[in-house]
Structure 1
């Protein structure tokens, strides 16, 4: 009986490793991926093109039918112009808000608000923040 229990645990762990991970610490990052894609106004095919994968792979990832490998997370982060940690932070915040399609931005960390801005505005705000911080010392 003990050997069967160990075998079932090994099988479950191996299946999780083979499939990849889409739920980490109770948060499902597939919502964050879908949210970021829609925020960019991209189709699944466009995201697939930007992240070196297929449309069916993106669909499976977003629907939780397939896990995320570290390499895939890196490709997705590059496509979205953010870091992998920002994807996880977004997933965590969306989970707190029950994965609503229109989250309450008042409750979001500044880093996630900043991430929603176009890159040129991010640079402008960063420069302004640096000026404010250095002048206040």
Structure 2
């Protein structure tokens, strides 16, 4: 069985390191990018990305803009995107879902919740 390939897009390397450690321990393969543009290049080079974990608050292009680009791209539109945010304010989840995210999880991340959310969207 092939391991599922997860793409983490987050501008904070500490978050990437922590997510990779948890996901690799659960048997996933992980790629990462510190900005959406690099993430898009990774998607273009890897047709088997199972899900993208997208930080919503990044400089230059935030997660909302990045999800919009993905959903308007024939190549990327069907890849599930799990919005990951530290904002966790009232209305945030709805804003992420309206932007096109498949799901939403707030930081600090509860690993069990993350895995449950991922299970819903990974085929």
What TM-score comes out, normalization by structure 1 length? 0.24
Higher helix share: 1
What TM-score comes out, normalization by structure 2 length? 0.26
Q: Which has the larger radius of gyration?
A: 1
Higher strand share: 2
